[in-house]
A and B are shown apart, each in its own frame.
Chain A
């Protein structure tokens, strides 16, 4: 059974930093791209960042480029989102999602989300 478990959310002051983690299980982790999608309170979904299976390709939304860093440790089946220079508009539930296939940006499994409040 595929499981994604996020952690690391919390309350932070504007300009502060936070690091989110997502531990994956139930699939061959290195084979799949992973993605972060966020959802501001009462709002819709916003794509944040994606990383390829081997970590060689990383993509960011313009709204977070230069402030957020997406990385993965395939030995630990874990992805990370380092968030710096946080702003009020970054307040959201952050979901970790597994891509259906490497190279295809659809998401067949999602974590339960972790709330970041700035």
Chain B
């Protein structure tokens, strides 16, 4: 099973700042089958990124994904108030599908 470790656990930033979230895999993620989701309190997850770098439909271009192999990054270029949430990475290249434990992005 591929274990995904997200860091930091909590990230405190201000609106307008740049956020960099990390997701490290215990083994190489095949074909960069890595996705990112956003979850606001009390809501279902929202699909952001797939294939490590492709934005899902309707996702603002301030969200970008990068990385390959075992190291992946989600970057939010300029934080908007609605971006403060929990972010999860997910690998879907190997069975079982696994998620990271999440990074909480909070307002500083």
Same complex for A and B? Answer yes
Which positions 89-107 of chain A face chain B at CB distance < 8 Å?
95, 100, 104-107
Across the A-B interface, how many residue pairs have beta carbons closer than 8 Å?
A: 48
Contact at A104–B90, with CB atoms within 8 Å? no
Q: Write out, one digit per residue, whether chain A residues 14-57 have a CB within 8 A of any chain B CB (1) or not (0).
A: 00000000000000000000000100000011110000000000
Residue of A whose beta carbon sits closest to that of B56: A108
Contact at B95–A59, with CB atoms within 8 Å? yes
CB-CB < 8 A to A37: which residues of B?
A: 45
Contact at A113–B57, with CB atoms within 8 Å? no
Is A1's CB within 8 Å of the partner chain B? no
Supposing A110-B45, A112-B44 touch, asked if A62 and B96 sit within 8 A by C-beta, the answer is yes
Is B101's CB within 8 Å of the partner chain A? yes
Q: Is the interface of A mostly helix, strand, loop or mixed?
A: strand
Is B65's CB within 8 Å of the partner chain A? no
Contact at B44–A111, with CB atoms within 8 Å? yes
Counting contact residues on chain A (CB < 8 A from B), the size range is: 20 to 34
Is B99's CB within 8 Å of the partner chain A? yes
Is B105's CB within 8 Å of the partner chain A? no
Is A61's CB within 8 Å of the partner chain B? yes
Q: Give the distance in Å from the alpha carbon of A73 to the alpha carbon of B41 in the complex.
A: 32
Residue of B whose beta carbon sits closest to that of A99: B92
CB-CB < 8 A to B37: which residues of A?
A: 45, 107
Of the residues A44, A110, A111, contact of B99 by C-beta under 8 Å:
A44
CB-CB < 8 A to B96: which residues of A?
A: 47, 61-62
Is B88's CB within 8 Å of the partner chain A? yes
